[in-house]
Amino acid sequence: MVAGVGMGIKDNLTNKNGVVLEKALRQTQGEPEVSKEVVFDISGEVINPGVYKLPSGARINEALAKAGGLSAKADREWVAININKAELIRDGQKIVIPRKNVEEKILGVSVVPMRQSGLISLNNATVEELDRLPGIGPAMAQRIIDYRNNSGGFKNVEEVKLVSGIGDKMWEKIKDLVGL
């Protein structure tokens, strides 16, 4: 009886916004507290690269807007093909916008600079991009993407060895070609 009275009294204790009571009830009922924000790092060819916070449930499109949008040097075609602007932002996610490949003429020779890092992103690559890696076919590429989607993204590049079918030999072939 006393416990019931105590909960009844506790239920009636609220501040003007009800925030303290809600948190106290969640903690006493054993429910995990859900983060109301995601923190992400956006870099590369955006106006204001940096670490930002947005409400939980925010989309990549909102992250791009928060960073001031794409810079004039951004590879907009690559972004259109490889970035799903409707995708939910994951807490701790890294978003890198590459620079547009621009042909330059140096002494009459055409030079095409490499993409920003030259690495294939495990967290953003398509099946087609992953398929270009030695020993990785379309089925393995899809397994990498499935693992990425189910685990909330790769935290480090060696985590790709947890994907079924990627062992030490395969890792040795691709380790210098992949990034986050």
| 6, part of any domain | no
pTM of the model: 0.43
Confidence of residue 30 (pLDDT cuts 50, 70, 90): low
Number of neighbours of residue 49 by Cβ within 10 angstroms: 17
The pLDDT value recorded for residue 77 is 86
Q: Give the pLDDT confidence of 67-121 residue by residue, as tens digits.
A: 999 998 888 888 888 889 999 999 999 998 988 865 444 454 444 343 445 688 8
| 134, part of any domain | yes
The pLDDT value recorded for residue 33 is 53
- Report the C-alpha dihedral over residues 140, 138, 142, 165, rounded to 10 degrees: -10
Please give the residue range of the domain that contains residue 127: 119-179
| 74, part of any domain | yes
What's the domain count of the chain?
2
| 15, part of any domain | no
Residue 150 sits in a domain whose CATH number is: 1.10.150.320
| 149, part of any domain | yes
| 127, part of any domain | yes
The pLDDT value recorded for residue 79 is 87
d(CA 74, CA 111): 18
| Residue 9 clears pLDDT 80, i.e. is over it | no
